Amino acid sequence: MIYGFNMGGCGPEFSGRRGSRRWGPFEFSWEAGPDMVGARMRRRVFDGGELRLVLLKLIADAPRHGYDLIREIEEMTKGAYAPSPGVVYPTLTLLGDMGLIAEQQSEGAKKQYAATDDGRAHLAERAEEVASLMARLAELGEDRARTDSESIRRAMNNLRHVLMHKQHFGDMTTDKLHAIVALIDEAAQKIERLG
């Protein structure tokens, strides 16, 4: 049995057991079988040329190792996005081949890269695009921070609804009430200790 997937008229229909297609800025993937029909959509953060500019900008700001670049992007986006080593390291090789970065002397076995004069000139020529890309990273971080605070509100509302339901429809004895209060106090103390 083959299942189809259509994004409600906003793109081509995809049929088959498993696959993925790019459409505009989105990548669609689907998997279907007798026990499961599913589809998910994820937004690509950068194309290859954009990621090259982001990495070059970060290296121009301060010499960095490949892992430092991954960690820096992850921190900027509050964990919403971190490019994989399988994308970052070949991109660094390409930037080196283009003469935009050069390997620097560093302690340990890790390669550290610095921007060349050509690399800085390249960034200056594309300053507007670079600023837009860095703003996109900052926006991802802001979206993640907003989402995280929404998760807290959702959890608090969930607790409130459970308590109201227990109070109005449960057989609330004094022992149960004390047990609930103790659980809430314990959770509050654990949260406070998180710092």
Angle, CA of 114, 120 and 123, to the nearest 5°:
120
How does pLDDT run across 148-174, given as a tens digit for each residue?
666 777 788 888 888 887 877 777 888
Distance between CA 77 and CA 43 in Å, rounded?
Answer: 14
Residues 112/63, Cβ–Cβ less than 8 Å: yes
- In this predicted structure, the answer to whether residue 10 has a pLDDT above a threshold of 60 is no
Whole-number pLDDT of residue 30 = 40
Tell me which of 185 and 36 has the higher pLDDT.
185
- In this predicted structure, the answer to whether residue 73 has a pLDDT above a threshold of 90 is yes
Whole-number pLDDT of residue 157 = 80
Q: How many CB atoms lie within 10 A of CB 73?
A: 23
DSSP-derived secondary structure for 108-124: SSS-EEEE-HHHHHHHH
Residues 123/61, Cβ–Cβ less than 8 Å: no
Distance between CA 1 and CA 83 in Å, rounded?
Answer: 36
Whole-number pLDDT of residue 148 = 64
The answer to pTM > 0.95 is no
Whole-number pLDDT of residue 29 = 41
